[in-house]
Structure 1
């Protein structure tokens, strides 16, 4: 969304989230080997809840007890989402009259959420799940989605207050209330005023402390945990807590971040001297905003390709057990149909070997064959989501149509998603073990995956056309044999183009590529100018995730592109014809 701000971001750098120096950060609490847990009845979806006893001051020791409840009985409780922290310097609480050790991070959360004059009931993974029982962990992880969904409130504990965090939390709470009132009033002017108010505050120099605090909030180590992806996405009424202040995660934090992004898109960074660098950074590398997007799309069915893309997307998130890189995302696939499909290849089992789990993921993703999809299916848009359609008339005029229904996604067409794209994630970092084949991705490693042709082109351009992927395993699933079209090598390579080239500079490069293609035809692939232009734009118009390129782009002429490039350097110049207009629009695509 914010690609045009990359020149700003590259100069500014990005601070990594702060974390403990202890290598044991986020390790499960295995400090309570002697605690007498009573077994849960997994078949009845039984869970434990922590009932924290009240205390008038924070100096009082924490006393709590466990309660067994069945989710089907709809118990009233809150759920805690927090950073596990290091177990190297634990604190002690009293649980069911026994000493129970917790991390300092959890201890600070318990102190914060304890009430002065009434008990408080919270589900806390490190206490409510017997971390030493693999059988129990397997069962509880399978219902984690339901646990968070049924919570009356999800308490997202970021940690103590920091500079300007109180002002930031107050600001987010105010924005939440303004947007809520604007929505309730159904007054278009009120909604417009609320949106414009964000823009005004973006330009206010006195707000710089708030924007810096927002950046710091989104850089906290909490957002790097793998499990919080599911916790924040599914959690009932998630609230972000920093020190003594709180604000809504969805209607506060994510709404503010989204509003900033929308306002940025409407402005010209070259002319906008007020551009605020802290949030140009955090909007492009922001886990909170990514999770907010997942929360918005919970009702859209997820499949194997969604899992593959999400594994790549959240690859750098932290998990003590590398199996959790996969398990933490399975709640999104927890519909009966999706669950039965992935369970053919692997299951939630902490006793299983990591290699076997990752191999199962590979098989599951690769098992989903290519299929024709509608535009809405490929874009992940629901049936009632506001959508925009494009059309190109015979004279080259581009027509736009906004509607509340998907009037542009009814006709399926070939968009080969390429299930074997999972191979692009292989061969990164160290292998899981000496016995792991080189083609098996290691989701426990941080480096991001590589993009395939399908992904680069928005899944609409594939050299193999309609050929189905063919593969099989040999030697006990250690050798993968794939049939396909082999690219033996690149015989001729044109010069590269700089990312921030002007239209004139870019057109000069395109002209050199066209000249090279004409001068170096082969007997197998003779020169085809129409194929050249279709390849250049990846068959797409303006946004590769929307519609096919207009026919005029297939027959583009280099002199038309040059004229459009020259005119683009003179803002007052009017296009002389529709071909010139389409040539100008091609620059937006490229």
Structure 2
């Protein structure tokens, strides 16, 4: 997430929190929504910002925007939020113009506007709600861009010419006649203007009508070769826009009830995109009775539809209540791009099957977040599988050698082998122990005391000494912890430092089912 800038109308120094008058970090289940006020294409964008509470169930129906923030321009556009002029990126401003209605206001959740980005504590608490925000939205709108293929940044100015009416592509056949007409007109064009979004999605609609690759190749025999190449290049660039590589979109797309993809003046349902992907997966381009007018490089563009199938696979698992552990999610998606590298972990927490004891905390630096995630995974999985692979490629500063750097692109062979990691058992079932500084001090205290009265009772010590041979259940661990507490109170006097240390270690043992190693026994 990025910081936003705002100006006026107040000149008081206190205005730095406006239009965010409430600190949501102190309000449980509170979140904001914007009301995007109706207007014409060239009208100034005006929004109203209000706070709602999820536990009251009185918040209005809303849509959530999934988009790429993009780069700042030298002269960034401004929008009005509760009367305050806020500077935003070009991509967000264009997205709001495409979504704005002429006759009705609409309720939206947009991260850059609904979270006070300058309040680190609020930002951390709101990120923890992201899964709920996107899963309870009646619709998640994916905005790919305005069809210009420009870098989300900075040079292209918004056209003052309103786009045409938005065309919706779904799994029905209603738009098939329009798709054929669009491509028939386009194939006789001079290619002086860029391929439009309507032409790209018309091509995808026609793909769903063909039973095999031969039908597609036969269809394109009527097209000039230059047109075929140009169309495939436009499709390639559509599937390579920045949205597809962004880490946050994984959760935003997976938990959504309903998804609509917007690209310029075209809207497509998620089911439509999945149907296109299924059609392509059934085809075999290796053997066909028609000579191909499509180059191999063009056909490789179809491989990019795996981006849709990967997300859809996780959507199906989510709906079937089949969750994925954090390590698998990090290996699969962790290399995606994020403006803040800490989000490579935080963006995936809402999808985890394991109760990872991590909460988004933007007061921690990148190395601390990655280390915290790795230790939590080891504790949860009771496995060192996170250390598998080559961790020598690091760009993050201060990372221990055994901690993966999720900001680097993993080796593909490592990724493939990691998928079958469960088939290996080199450790023979030995369970790893994470030794915290407190636990290390505790063991040292038990081993180094010179006072025989301070040694652990022999029975409890034997239990701990043989811990590596046992498979403890929670009551057994509780019994050991009780013995440890008695050890501190054996002579009707409390050794406060030891008692506090053992009490805290005991709680950790019960919560995590961690086993302690050998402890010295008093033989006197």
With the shorter chain as reference, the TM-score category is 0.5 to 0.7
In 1, Cα distance between equivalents of 2:412 and 2:437: 26
TM norm structure 1: 0.57
Instruction: Tell me which residue corresponds to 1:113.
Output: 99
Cα distance in 2 for partners of 1:452, 1:80 equals 31
2:317 aligned with 1:317? no
Residues 470 and 77 (structure 1), Cα distance of their counterparts in 2 relative to 1, 3 Å cut? closer
The answer for the alignment partner of 1:87 in structure 2 is 72
Does structure 1 retain, via aligned residues, the 8 Å contact 2:277–2:305? no
Cα gap change, 1:332 to 1:84, in 2 (>3 Å): same
Note the C-alpha offset of 1:126: 0.3
2:65–2:141: 8 Å Cα contact kept in structure 1?
yes
| Alignment partners' CA distance in 2, 1:85 and 1:429 | 25
Would the aligned equivalents of 2:247 and 2:333 in 1 still touch at CA under 8 Å? yes
Aligned-pair distance for 1:174? 7.0
Q: Which one has more relative contact order, counting CA pairs under 8 Å at least 6 apart?
A: 2
SS in 1 for 2:283: helix
The 3 A distance-change label for structure 1 pair 470 and 70 is closer
Partner of 1:158: 144
Match of 1:29 in 2: 4
Question: Is the Cα contact below 8 Å between 1:368 and 1:419 reproduced in 2?
Answer: no
Find the counterpart in structure 1 of residue 219 from structure 2: 204
For 1:453 and 1:128, how far apart are their aligned partners in 2? 39
Write out aligned runs for 1:472-491 (5 A): 472=434
Provide structure 1 residue ranges, at least 5 long, that are not aligned to the other structure: 1-25, 179-193, 371-417, 478-590
The answer to whether residue 363 in structure 2 is matched with residue 363 in structure 1 is no
Aligned to 1:328: 347
Residue 148 (str. 1) matches residue 159 (str. 2): no
Distance of aligned partners of 1:310 and 1:46 in 2 relative to their CA distance in 1, 3 Å threshold: same
CA gap of 1:118–1:210, structure 2 versus 1, over 3 A, is: same
Q: CA RMSD in A?
A: 3.3
Q: TM-score, normalised by structure 2?
A: 0.63
Q: In structure 1, what is the Cα distance between the partners aligned to 2:348 and 2:290?
A: 40
User: Partner of 2:234: helix, strand, or coil?
Assistant: helix
**Aligned residue for 2:356?**
342
Structure 1 residues 244 and 459: alpha-carbon distance in aligned structure 2, compared to 1, 3 A threshold = same
Matched, 1:75 2:21: no
Cα distance in 1 for partners of 2:401, 2:91 equals 39
Return closer, same or farther for 1:463/1:222 CA change in 2, 3 Å cut-off: closer
Secondary structure at the aligned position of 2:32 is classed as strand
Whole-Å separation in 1 of the counterparts to 2:388 and 2:64:
38
Distance 1:323 1:40 in 2: 22
Q: Which of the numbers 72, 84, 88 marks the counterpart of 1:102?
A: 88
Instruction: Structure 2: give runs of 5+ residues left out of the alignment.
Output: 8-15, 149-194, 440-524
Give the distance between the partners of 2:391 and 2:410, measured in 1 at CA: 11
Q: Is residue 5–residue 87 contact of structure 2 (8 Å, CA) maintained in 1?
A: no
> Given that residues 124 and 361 in structure 2 are in contact (C-alpha distance below 8 angstroms), is that contact kept between their aligned partners in structure 1?
yes
Identify the range of structure 1 (221-230 vs 27-36) with the bigger mean alpha-carbon deviation: 27-36
Matched, 1:443 2:406: yes
Query: Map of 1:151-230 to 2, 5 A cutoff?
Result: 151-162=137-148, 163-172=195-204, 196=211, 200-201=215-216, 203-205=218-220, 206=223, 208=228, 210-230=231-251
Aligned partner of 1:380 in structure 2 is none
Distance 1:366 1:34, change over 3 A: closer
Closer/same/farther in 2, CA of residues 367 and 202 from structure 1, 3 Å limit: farther
The corresponding residue for 1:261 is 281
Describe the shift of the 1:359–1:30 C-alpha distance in structure 2 as closer, same or farther (beyond 3 A).
Answer: farther
Within the alignment, does 1:48 sit opposite 2:13 as a pair?
no
Displacement of 1:259 in angstroms is: 2.0
SS in 2 for 1:50: strand
Q: What are the Cα deviations for residues 106-128 of structure 1, in whole angstroms up to 9, with x where unaligned?
A: 01111111111221211111001
What is aligned with 2:430?
468
State the 1:472 CA deviation.
4.5
Q: CA deviation at 1:309?
A: 2.7
Measure the CA separation in 1 of the matches of 2:291 and 2:328: 37
Number of residue-to-residue matches in the alignment: 373
**Contact 1:431–1:438 (CA under 8 A) maintained in structure 2:** no
Give the aligned partner of residue 44 of structure 2. Answer: 61
Q: Write the deviation string for residues 67-97 of structure 1: whole angstroms up to 9, x where unpaired.
A: 2223333521111111101134321111111
Alpha-carbon shift at residue 273 of structure 1 (Å): 5.0
Distance, in Å, in 2 between the alignment partners of 1:439 and 1:125 is 34
